Structure 1
Amino acid sequence: MGRMFGYARVSSREQNLDRQIQTLKKYVDEEHILTDKESGKNLNRPSYQALKGALGLRSGDTLVITSLDRLSRNKTDIKQELQWFKEQNIRLKILDLPTSLIEVPEGQKWILDMIQNILIEVMASIAEQERLTIKKRQREGIEAARKKGKHLGRPRVQIPEEMEEVYTLWKNGKITAKKAMELLHMSSSTFYRKIQEYEKVSGPKGH
């Protein structure tokens, strides 16, 4: 028999871990419950990485969590972690997924493998569907903006009519760049960007 570990996570230091810990204590000794008060956006969390490290989970061990989103809130990451547990021969028990708690007779480990494979496929499908939905919404948003004649991205500053005259004065040293910006009502970054655009169209002028 391998060892039993528990893992609990909340998203911020203000949140309380007590409820998860009390639930996990029904299955795991408290000294073997590791906790993080970190966001589920990524996997770079101290206690969770310790569990996966050299002194943590080993082949034949079991990790107990209250729900899948304690591992991560990113569906792609969850699928990746489920695959890692499978490859390392680590049993994952998820308390709000009763099928993951099934105990099987010796020699019938294939049943647990089947459950884990189904879970991996389900999470992969959900993650893929979320990606497709996001892409579809982006395409719809771009198309709607085009129909309304909107320019997407940073608003473009049109080259004003006075650009040629002011540009020539500035290029010939008659006025400073600061004065040119004032006359054109442009910020420094916009002014030099528009100079580049203007010179591409008309070519450099002056001395």
Structure 2
Amino acid sequence: MTDNNKRIFGYVRVSSRDQNLDRQIESLKQYVPDERYILADKSSGKDFDRPAYKALKMMVRPGDIIYIHEMERLGRNKQEIKENLEYFKENGVCVRILNIPTTMMDFSGFESKLQKMLMEMVNNILIEVLATMAETERDNIRKRQREGIDIALKKGVRFGRPRKDLPSCWQEDKKKWQAGEVTAVSLMKKYEMCSSTFYNKVNAEKEK
């Protein structure tokens, strides 16, 4: 907490639980005096339904400052990022983004209102441009992935787990099950199948 009672927070996020937050946290430590005020989420940025982010919005007060490592940590959708940045602005909370240097500047030292307005305009333009570029790049990545998958499928490449051929005794055991001599559960255990796989195998053979 600063001398004028402004609190300083940090927010970090990765999109999956096996990813590491250390790099982002380390980058914020020089700006956030108390590491307990660095809130972290391990979830997708496709929406803002994230526990730590929700808690952050409830905790901050007018005059507080939030540091984030990069703008993309707020989400993947440009419109949602802009709406949330506007939310903090309307509530008197300053958001500083490490990879947008102009957001790191303290406007309180500017004597002229015109200077403040110009810097805010520059920030808004940079955020708009960078958010658009990030969104476009993600769209291009998804498009390239989809094209690659389609090409692979045409070449006969199979995705997912390799198909496991059943032993010759499967047909005999299946007839016993159909006759009520053995249970489906016992065959699932014998062939190490889950229930959906078992019934998919049975139904697929019916359709042949």
1:52 match:
57
Cross-structure match for 1:5: 7
**Aligned mates of 1:116, 1:188 — CA distance in 2:** 54
In 2, the alpha carbon distance for the partners of 1:187 and 1:85 equals 51
TM-score of the superposition, structure 1-length normalised?
0.58
What secondary structure does 1:57 align onto? coil
Q: Which residue of 1 aligns with 2:17?
A: none
Report percent identity of matched pairs.
28
Q: CA deviation at 1:106?
A: 4.6
Query: Are the equivalent residues in 2 in contact too, given 1:10–1:36 (CA < 8 A)?
Result: yes
What's the offset of the Cα at 1:166?
5.4
Equivalent pairs counted in the alignment come to 186
Please tell me the root mean square deviation across aligned C-alpha atoms, in Å: 4.7
The reply on whether 1:82 has 2:85 as its aligned counterpart is yes
Distance 1:138 1:131 in 2: 11
Gaps of 5+ in 2: 14-19
> Which structure: larger Rg?
1
* Structure 1: segments with no counterpart, 5+ residues: 203-207
Shift of 1:38: 3.1
Is 1:124 matched with 2:131? yes
Preserved contact between residue 65 and residue 94 of structure 2 (Cα < 8 Å)? yes
Give the equivalent residue in structure 2 for 1:144: 151
2:42 pairs with 1:36: no
TM-score by length of 2: 0.58
Q: Residues 95 and 157 (structure 1 numbering): CA distance in 2 closer, same or farther, change over 3 Å?
A: closer
How far is the alpha carbon of 1:18 from its aligned partner? 8.1
Alpha-carbon distance change, 135 to 89 in structure 1, aligned in 2, over 3 angstroms: same
Give a deviation string over 1:144-193, Cα, whole Å, max 9, x none. Answer: 321431223455567899877654443234x42469949x9573533322
Tell me: CA distance 1:84–1:123, structure 2 relative to 1, closer, same or farther (3 Å). farther
